[in-house]
Each structure stands twice: as structure tokens, then as C-alpha cells.
Amino acid sequence: MHYKLTIPERLQDLRKDRHLTLEQLAEQTGLSRSALGKYESDNYKDISPFAIATLAEFYSVSTDYLMGLSENKNHTNTELQSLHLSDNMVELLNSGKINNRLLCELATHPNFQRLMVDMEIFIDRIANMRVEQMNLVMEATRQSILSKYAPGEDDLYVRTLELGQVQESDFYSHILHDDLDSIVRDIREAHLKDKTTADPQPTMEDVKEKFEKAVQQGSDIEMLIHEFCDKLQIPFDKISSEDFSAFLRILSLSKMLKDPNNMRGKASPTHPNQNARRKRK
């Protein structure tokens, strides 16, 4: 998630956020449609100071952001003191040890305020007394029933009064976990199709398609297995000779192979690690 937008990409995003065509943008800014198109194209080379100032004012962003010199659209000169950041926090943000972009997404998520409030309640022990009071009431009731009626520890109501008592740390661990989960899931979903995440893992359909193409091209059987393992991220050199032989037996059933009969009776050709295993024995 460390991808940095180019100037054309920034201009495109800003225009699309306003739902404007190049023609509409030209009408509203007084800049020519052809010039605006060049600024947003992959062949972008230069942009005039007048156009920079005009577009920055129109989009209400800083010129530094527009030119890729800053990731902040508006708050370029905010003082650290006003943000109440400690020296350790500033040092951490400048260290490159954490993903600052991800941290910003986390903090600006709509549910982050709920997470912070719940953390404050837990850390400052705001609800601790109330939880302890409820536990004391239930335990006193449980002891009274045990003493008066002697129903046994496994009685439904006695056991209910026991399980109804909660430890504050256990209770809030679930609360905080749910808060954070909702935020992380949303951010993960938002990054599924953007340029800042890792390449998506191949689906079974992708693997099948690649496998079928390899078969049609008459690829060597071992190469097919290599391709299959590569797409499913299976370390080929970790496959035992027995598993390799079983794989070949399965492949021999495929109608896509040009001559599956060639493998009958040859279910255990030399596996790349087989000779080494025999020597070790």
C-alpha cells in the first residue's frame, strides 16, 4: 500500500471525484480541453504554473499535492503541536517502519471513533465498578440459592448465575476485537481492486485454464505439475516421491492428455528429489 499517485493520476482522480468530463472542466476553469487532456495522459511532460494554480484553486487542494510533492491535499502547514503528537510518535511516523497510509485509513474509518471510545472505557476502568457490582450481585444470589436449597453446582439456574459473571478484560477483549475487525474488513475490501495491494491469488478457474492450455500445447508431464504447483503456491521440491507418483496416477485419468496410456505402469518416474531420498535411506 505504498503506491504513490502520479500527477496525471491525481488530476484524473480529482476530476472524476467531481463527476466532470474534460469538456465540463474546460468550461469551468477556462483551460483548454486539449491541454487538460494532455495533463491527464500517460505522455504528460509539463504543466504551466498558471494551470497548476488554476486547478489547485478549482479542486481546493494544495499545489504541492497536485504536483506530487505532498500527500496532503489541504493541511500542508499544520503544526505538530496542534496535533498533540509525541516525539516518539513523530519519530515512528518518519522511520518507515510502519505503513503510514494504512494507519491513516484505519484512523479515518467511520468506526474508529467507536474503537477509541471503547478502548478509553477499558483503559480508564470507567465501567469496572459497574461490572464488579453486577458480578457481586449474581454471586451473592448464587451462594444464597446454594445455601438455602442445595440444588448442586450443576443446577441450571445456579450455573447460569455463575456463567453470567464476566471478567472485564474478557468482556472488552471481545468488544475491541469486534470493533477492529469491522474496520480491517472494510479496508481490506476497499483494496481488493486498487493498485496498492499485492496481486490477487489465482482462483481455481485460473489454474484450470492455465493447466488446459499447457496440456493442449503438449507440455511435458513434469512441467504440468510444476505449473500446477506454482499457481497454487505448493513448493515443488517439498513433494514426496509417493505424492508425486499419486499425482501422476491422477493425471493418467485425464482425457485431455494426448496419450494417457503412455503413463500406465509408469506411475513413479524419477522425481527430482527421489534419488536424494534413496541415498539418505
pLDDT at 21: 92
Burial 150-159 (b: 16+ CB within 10 A, else e): eeeeebeebe
Please give the angle made by the CA atoms of 267, 268 and 270, to the nearest 5 degrees: 140
Measured between alpha carbons, how far is 193 from 190 in angstroms, rounded to an integer? 7
pLDDT at 28: 92
Measured between alpha carbons, how far is 271 from 129 in angstroms, rounded to an integer? 67
pLDDT at 277: 44
Measured between alpha carbons, how far is 149 from 52 in angstroms, rounded to an integer? 84
Measured between alpha carbons, how far is 143 from 162 in angstroms, rounded to an integer? 10
pLDDT at 215: 58
Name every residue whose Cβ is closer than 8 Å to that of residue 90 and which is 6 or more positions away in sequence. Answer: 80
Q: What residue segments make up the domains of the chain, in order of their start? A: 7-66, 85-198, 204-275
Return averaged pLDDT per consecutive 10 residues of the chain, 281 residues in all: 73 91 92 90 83 90 82 67 82 87 90 90 79 85 89 87 78 85 89 59 62 60 70 74 74 61 43 46 44
Tell me the CATH class for 7-66: mainly alpha
Please give the angle made by the CA atoms of 17, 18 and 21, to the nearest 5 degrees: 105
For the question of whether the overall pTM of this predicted structure is more than 0.85, the answer is: no
